[in-house]
Structure 1
Amino acid sequence: MEEEVPCYFVCPISLHLMRDPVTLPTGITYDRDGIERWLLTAGTCPLTKQPVPPDCDPTPNHTLRRLIQSWCAAEGVVRRVATPPKPPIGDDRSRVASLVSRIGANNNFTSTELLAALRELRDVASESERSKKLVAAVPRAVDTLVGVFIIASSATASAAVCCDEVLEIISSLELSEKCLARVIEANEALSRSLVGALVSALQRSNAASRAHAALLLRSVTAVMSTNSLASLPEQLFGEVVQLIRDKQVSSRAVTKAALHVIVGTAPWGRNRVKAVDAGAVAALVDMLLDGPERRACELALGALDRLCVCAEGRAELVAHGAGVAAVGGKALRVSDVATDKAVRVLRSVARHAATAAVLQEMAQTGVVGTLCVVAQSEEQYGERTRERARETLRRHARAWRSTPCLHHHLQAMYP
């Protein structure tokens, strides 16, 4: 039977036998790995809730460590303990702070010294999750990297290598929305400059940088102010549409990021019209025809729903040879969310773009029958979705109720 571990040998965070016990200024001892991860995000003692200074280096508890080793040796569980302790987090923090200082002080974006510092910082961030959090937590690190990326993106073409390196570092940190918001909220002009730099990165041929820029663009637009969102450049939507169309270069994650950008930015200013002018509606319809996976299909329909709020978006949808059919074909077949989004798009078309030709197309392509099924499916779809379907059917009942395209069992379901 396994010997019970003494409670004072157990880390309060992991509840496992401590490998490298260290003590905080609060007097509480934890395993080094657990408390360092905790302090990178929380900044307080887990048990006492007292604040811990950002530059605090937990003190190694050598006495407790020797006691644990002795106990493990006596109980025959020596292998549980320990590996040599990790370098103190303070040493790593000093190293990162030094690299950030070198990067921020160097204005020559083609110098070997700057590239060397960037690559060293990139290597540090790629070591582990702990290292990523450490880089992001060092004061002014993210601000410095963003500033260098913005300035380098507007410099000469020879600075592209520097841009790519900085963008890779920023993307690897997987910054939280809270961190990004802190960086860009203090300066509205900074958010516009950052968007411009990301657009420049999307316009380059480097596939890896385009992917990093797309993922970062999604995160940045999610925390931008409404004023900044309302003034997004037209080039942004052109590049986003290109990401949706470029199946050979864009991964699923990149495509979804592009879809999120359209969904998140469309309501503000003239962004709907900008996206439509960039060819977003045709790209989204073509994407639906290619049979995307469930989440991408839901996002594409959500984007079409946002774009069809404006007359330009509806006109593009009905002008596409398969626009209405592609939207109606995803209802009932993908998910409840996709069905709801498809019904919303069809209602917008029926309300504001219902020419005789469009009504005939909706009947011939099975859209009317789909709406009948949704309207009667009380257990599967929400009341709002069913009501939108019923509203659409009632609006054009005279044209659809007696159409020969509607099977007799669907005519019986007609509201």
Structure 2
Amino acid sequence: MDDIEIPQYFICPISLQIMKDPVTAITGITYDRESIEHWVFQEENNLCPVTKQPLPRDSDLTPNHTLRRLIQSWCTQNALDRIPTPKPPLNKVHVLNLIRDLWLPKLQLKTLRKLEIFAVEHERNRKCMVEAGLVKAMWLFVISCHKRGETMGLEEALSIMCLVRGPSSETKLLLSENEQILDSLTWVLGRDIDNHYTVKNHAMLVLKGIIGKASSNVLEKLKPEFFERIVGVLREGISQQGINAALQIMLDACLLRRNRIMMIESGAVFELIELELGSPEKKTSELILGILFHLCSCADGRAQFLSHSASVALITKRLLTVSPAADDRALLIISIICKFSGTPLVIQEMLKVGTFAKLCMVLQGDCATYLKDKAKEILREHSNVWKNSPCIEVRTFSQYLKQVL
């Protein structure tokens, strides 16, 4: 084939290979379907690779049947062994047949693996699966595994659920109709099964999707075991993506005081501080500080926070070093601790670990006005203690005292 000159318009601009299934985008450029769908959906590009014009995810790709026939005819004329033919698209009837096979014990695992392959391939398949009702079928499968105490197929089912997600309205309806959904995922998080690292990672991602869309009625029904399992998974360790999903779940659940109390009772404060001590990525730090802020609004949460020997020093260190969002939460945590748990011992610890110096840096730095006001409030409230401390120069304190009084 190296000796044959291939017509340029047979070549996909992305893969630089002969097109199997040529489709034309709204920009007028023809690509091989697999290449352009990968470009748009998996690499999340929103510009046409050739024209650089906008290429929305929901725009139609029109099959170029004429070009496909020309390519096939050319391949035949040049005696090429393999004539490119497009793979038949997945259709609703095919998905419905697979859903039916899902409940046949002998075909169950094979069917799940087929569905997983289809879901991984491209967005068109995932959209077809949603329309065929696969989301509900997967939930029913996980619930049935929970009821039977069996784990075979769970890894594949949860992988599919991470890829194929229905609209928010469908998720809310499923949660309202079946309370066993959350119980089943809680059960999964507590199981010690093959590939438990991957399974629990997938379970966290699925949970993140449903908790983020859940109504207050659903959040009110979360149980202590739910938070114990999430904290337990954080303690065991999963992928960074799974950790962030678990933290987002906790942050969303923090909206209700009853949930904050259950998190504190599960030892969440201590585990969050330990996780933050590992110097995680920015997003993770922002989530951790957000949760700690909510948990420190409870007396037991503050007590648990202060019982960790590194807590005050850690929050002080994070202030002005992560992001504006992290600054907001770190300063609010310091404010809450000073206001409700600011014993002489705690204030002296803040002096030793440099909290006073960081608050002064907030006043000097390019911070939001409300953050500077909060720093002034903290400095003003404990000025009598700090001005008598040997840890602070009188001249330095007098300089900042003029700004806050």
What TM bracket, shorter-length normalisation?
0.7 to 0.9
Gaps of 5+ in 2: 1-6, 42-53
Q: Aligned with 2:132: secondary structure? A: coil
**Residues 38-77 of structure 1 aligned to structure 2 (within 5 Å):** 61=65, 63-66=66-69
**Residues 209-224 of structure 1 aligned to structure 2 (within 5 Å):** 209-224=199-214
Aligned residue identity for 1:215:
L
Aligned residue identity for 2:259:
N
Residues 181, 223 of structure 1: 8 Å contact kept: yes
Aligned partner (choices 103, 112, 116) of residue 122 of structure 1: 116
Residues 191, 224 of structure 1: 8 Å contact kept: no
Closer, same or farther: CA 132–241 of 1 in aligned 2, 3 Å: farther
Could you tell me which residue of structure 2 aligns to residue 413 of structure 1? 400
Q: Deviations over 1:119-171 (max 9, x none)?
A: 33223334x2246525533421111111111222122x3x2113333223222
Aligned partner (choices 197, 211, 234) of residue 224 of structure 2: 234
Could you tell me which residue of structure 2 aligns to residue 398 of structure 1? 384
Q: Distance in 1 between matches of 2:243 and 2:84?
A: 44
Q: CA offset at residue 5 of structure 1? A: 8.7
Quick check: 268-277 or 395-404, which moved more? 395-404
Q: Distance in 2 between matches of 1:255 and 1:298?
A: 13
Closer, same or farther: CA 370–33 of 1 in aligned 2, 3 Å: same
Q: CA offset at residue 410 of structure 1? A: 4.2
Q: Distance in 1 between matches of 2:72 and 2:111?
A: 40
Aligned partner (choices 275, 281, 291) of residue 269 of structure 2: 281
Q: Aligned with 2:151: secondary structure? A: helix
Q: Distance in 2 between matches of 1:326 and 1:29?
A: 54
> Number of matched residues?
376
Aligned residue identity for 1:164:
E
Aligned partner (choices 159, 180, 187) of residue 200 of structure 1: 187
Q: Distance in 2 between matches of 1:66 and 1:253?
A: 44
Q: Aligned with 1:291: secondary structure? A: coil
Aligned residue identity for 1:259:
L
**Residues 329-408 of structure 1 aligned to structure 2 (within 5 Å):** 329-377=317-365, 379=366, 381-408=367-394
Q: CA offset at residue 59 of structure 1? A: 7.3
Could you tell me which residue of structure 2 aligns to residue 33 of structure 1? 33
Q: Distance in 1 between matches of 2:29 and 2:280?
A: 51
Could you tell me which residue of structure 2 aligns to residue 76 of structure 1? none
Aligned partner (choices 243, 248, 255) of residue 233 of structure 2: 243
**Residues 149-228 of structure 1 aligned to structure 2 (within 5 Å):** 149-155=142-148, 157=149, 159-171=150-162, 173=163, 175=165, 179=166, 181-190=168-177, 192-206=179-193, 207=196, 208-228=198-218
Closer, same or farther: CA 58–338 of 1 in aligned 2, 3 Å: closer
Could you tell me which residue of structure 2 aligns to residue 75 of structure 1? none
Alignment of 1:142 onto 2:139: no
Q: Aligned with 2:107: secondary structure? A: helix
Residues 260, 299 of structure 1: 8 Å contact kept: yes
Q: Distance in 2 between matches of 1:290 and 1:21?
A: 49
Q: Distance in 1 between matches of 2:370 and 2:203?
A: 37
Quick check: 320-329 or 258-267, which moved more? 320-329
Q: Distance in 2 between matches of 1:390 and 1:35?
A: 57
Could you tell me which residue of structure 2 aligns to residue 86 of structure 1? 86
Q: CA offset at residue 291 of structure 1? A: 2.2
Task: Work out the percentage of aligned pairs sharing the same amino acid.
Answer: 28
Q: CA offset at residue 376 of structure 1? A: 2.6
Q: Distance in 1 between matches of 2:192 and 2:400?
A: 54
Residues 215, 254 of structure 1: 8 Å contact kept: yes
Q: Distance in 1 between matches of 2:232 and 2:330?
A: 23
Alignment of 1:326 onto 2:314: yes
Closer, same or farther: CA 5–289 of 1 in aligned 2, 3 Å: closer
Residues 222, 264 of structure 1: 8 Å contact kept: yes
Closer, same or farther: CA 161–34 of 1 in aligned 2, 3 Å: closer
Q: CA offset at residue 350 of structure 1? A: 1.2
Closer, same or farther: CA 354–135 of 1 in aligned 2, 3 Å: same
Closer, same or farther: CA 213–66 of 1 in aligned 2, 3 Å: closer
Closer, same or farther: CA 85–36 of 1 in aligned 2, 3 Å: farther
Alignment of 1:295 onto 2:289: no
Q: CA offset at residue 409 of structure 1? A: 6.1
Q: Distance in 2 between matches of 1:267 and 1:143?
A: 27
Q: CA offset at residue 293 of structure 1? A: 2.6
Q: CA offset at residue 367 of structure 1? A: 1.1
Q: Distance in 1 between matches of 2:72 and 2:184?
A: 54
Residues 286, 326 of structure 2: 8 Å contact kept: yes
Q: Distance in 2 between matches of 1:271 and 1:231?
A: 9
Quick check: 213-222 or 287-296, which moved more? 287-296
Aligned partner (choices 263, 266, 279) of residue 254 of structure 2: 266
Q: Deviations over 1:262-282 (max 9, x none)?
A: 111111241111101100111
Q: TM-score, normalised by structure 1?
A: 0.77
Q: CA RMSD in A?
A: 4.1
Gaps of 5+ in 1: 73-78
Q: Aligned with 1:350: secondary structure? A: helix
Residues 130, 164 of structure 2: 8 Å contact kept: no
Aligned residue identity for 2:218:
S
Residues 119, 164 of structure 2: 8 Å contact kept: no
